[in-house]
């Protein structure tokens, strides 16, 4: 299939059955400028006048989509380089009517989403990224999570960046899902571009210019961040809300009597590491002692430990 040079990605609801929060979001009048209609009809789908509530059966919210990913049967939102946006930062998600993708004000969960929750934009390498816009120290708003074929599920973060294109890991992922709460998830279908092509680089360079000339235009600076996220390898102790997310990538690198060594991918930096993980519980104590030894011997490994029991080394 030929690549659409002007297309960035499409968003589809990640749910089936009753009208979910994600499908309701796509059908909201505020999001009509980005909406694309369903390509196929499914008479088994049921609609209702508003988003589903807690009283609706959880069985209607499958974690897995149909074999065709399900998005052919639902409307979606199409994001293009030449779309006029409300925000110079990128396509901003949030409950504010000044966002490019407006989310429902009321969710059926405890903590609510923020007026400006997250943004889809490009990093300095031309890769599509998602950046959560919340303060890392905030606890009264929900963070954001991104799932790569199920990996990363429920790993909610604030002030965090996920890489969505421009690396084999992202390209080889069948389903990338943006999870804003348990019943507000979007399947992100990224258009695969050659990041080195002249046309793509031109589109990325012009991307910030496609904004409406309104007085409330929001730039990255006005959102409280200087860029779409750091690509510097984290160092030092990390709190649970900010520690790196390392996902299994392709294959095992090795296996011994007490541990396996896996190849893992950092979702924020695209760096790859070898991660040593214990096998059965009886090996855990020995591996913990090994980690403590490595932490004391700086000449053995200058790299940080991303988990108190799991050393990870760049490969």
At 250-261, the pLDDT tens digits run 877 887 777 788
pLDDT for res 254: 82
Q: Tens digits of per-residue pLDDT, 106-135?
A: 654 456 889 999 999 999 999 999 999 988
∠ CA 19-20-21, nearest 5°, is 125
pLDDT for res 115: 92
pLDDT of 196 higher than 90: yes
pLDDT for res 19: 61
| pLDDT mean over 134-142 | 76
Q: Give the start-to-end residue ranges of the domains of the chain.
A: 7-209, 246-314
Q: Tally Cβ neighbours within 10 Å of residue 267.
A: 26
- Bridge partners (DSSP) of residue 179 are 145, 185
Q: What is the pTM of this model?
A: 0.75
Nearest to 130 by CA among 190, 83, 76: 190
Q: Which CATH number applies to 246-314? A: 3.30.200.20
pLDDT band at 71 (very low <50, low <70, confident <90, very high): low
């Amino acid at each position: 299939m030929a690549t659409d040079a002007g297309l960035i990605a499409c968003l589809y609801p990640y749910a089936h059955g009753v009208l979910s929060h994600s499908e309701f979001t796509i059908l909201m009048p505020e999001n009509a400028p980005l909406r694309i209609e369903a390509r196929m009809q499914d008479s088994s789908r049921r609609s209702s006048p508003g988003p589903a509530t807690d009283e609706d059966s959880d069985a209607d919210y499958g974690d897995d989509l149909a074999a065709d990913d399900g998005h052919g049967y639902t409307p979606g939102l199409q994001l293009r380089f030449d779309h006029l946006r409300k925000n110079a930062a990128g396509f901003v998600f949030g409950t504010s009517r000044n966002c490019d993708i407006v989310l429902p004000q009321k969710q059926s969960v405890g903590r609510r989403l923020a007026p400006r929750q997250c943004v889809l934009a490009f990093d300095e390498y031309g890769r599509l990224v998602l950046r959560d816009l919340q303060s890392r120290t905030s606890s009264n708003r929900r963070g954001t999570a991104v799932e790569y074929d199920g990996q990363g599920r429920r790993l909610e973060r604030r002030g965090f960046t996920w890489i969505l294109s421009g690396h084999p890991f992202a390209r080889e992922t069948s389903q990338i899902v943006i999870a804003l709460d348990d019943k507000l998830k979007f399947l992100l279908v990224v258009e695969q571009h050659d990041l080195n092509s002249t046309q793509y680089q031109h589109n990325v360079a012009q991307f910030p210019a496609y904004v409406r000339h309104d007085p409330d235009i929001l730039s990255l600076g006005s959102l409280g961040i200087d860029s779409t996220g750091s690509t510097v390898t984290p160092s030092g102790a990390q709190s649970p809300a900010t520690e790196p997310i390392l996902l299994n990538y392709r294959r095992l690198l090795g296996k011994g009597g007490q541990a396996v060594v896996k190849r893992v991918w950092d979702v924020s930096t695209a760096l790859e590491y070898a991660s040593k993980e214990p096998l059965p519980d009886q090996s855990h104590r020995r591996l913990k002692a090994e980690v403590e030894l490595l932490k004391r011997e700086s000449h053995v490994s200058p790299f940080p430990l991303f988990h108190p029991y799991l050393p990870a080394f760049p490969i």
